[in-house]
A = this chain, B = another copy of it.
Amino acid sequence: MLAAMPRLASSPASDTATRALDVAETLVQQMGFNWFSYADIAEALGIRKASLHHHFPSKADLGRALLVRYRDRFDVELKRIHALPIDAHGKLLRYVGLYEAVLRGDRLCLCGMLAAEYASLPEPMQEEIRSFFDLNRKWLASVIREGRRSLLFHTRDTPESASFTLLGALEGAMLVARPYGDVARFAESAAQVLESLKTRPGSKGSR
């Protein structure tokens, strides 16, 4: 109470910057990066646009900070899930839960939204988006590998390939579910995709 909170290495640069990122994150996830403006954030925070430029000189800086923070938080969650004493299917269920919580807040995954706007974004942001997807694909591949070792999953495809499909299916299910405001549909799709990892490569397949 007497002294200022000690500033940990991982803590944000300032309270205003953090609150600005919070507001911006929601705006991007709901409306897109090209829609919102400094004025929207300034109004929400009760400060002036010029003050925001002190924390984030350009909109590209703000966007990059947004992505770095989002990825770091996701990384923490992923590590947390991986450490849980549950099987691979349970871990994927938790992973899906992360997405479902976002959708329930009428948002898209930050990187799903920014992947759509990808071509219009500054290069430093593009790099961070790929980095987010890389992180997720790597994590998913390792869980899929774990599920195979324990004979829970039986996919014919490589874990790398399956992880890409899974990531795309979840991002896409969110994307298509939102116009209908229907979280249940997303959950159903997610369950179907997870289930398809369990099925044995039965019939010969195509050809």
Contact = CB atoms under 8 A, between A and B. Distances in A.
A176 B35 CA distance: 21
Interface string A169-207: 111111111111000010011011101101111110110
Nearest to A172: B172
A72 interface: no
Nearest to A170: B172
Contact of A180 (B130, B174, B178): B130
A162 B192 CA distance: 8
Contacts of A106: 119
A28 to B, nearest CB: 11
Interface residues of A, number: 56
A173 B168 contact: yes
Interface stretch (A5-13, A43-51, A110-118): A110-118
A200 B202 contact: yes
A120 B32 contact: yes
A88 to B, nearest CB: 12
Contacts of A58: none
Contact of A31 (B117, B177, B191): B117
Nearest to A152: B203
Across chains A and B, which 4 residue pairs bring their CB atoms closest together, nearest first?
A172-B172, A116-B116, A168-B173, A168-B172
Given A32-B120, A191-B206, A199-B199, 11 more contacts: A115-B176, A116-B175, A118-B179, A168-B172, A168-B175, A168-B176, A170-B172, A171-B175, A171-B176, A172-B172, A175-B175
Interface of A: 30-32, 34-35, 89, 106, 108, 112-113, 115-120, 126, 129-130, 133, 156-157, 161-162, 164-165, 167-180, 185, 188-189, 191-193, 195-196, 198-203, 205-206
6 contacts: A118-B178, A157-B192, A168-B169, A168-B176, A175-B175, A198-B205
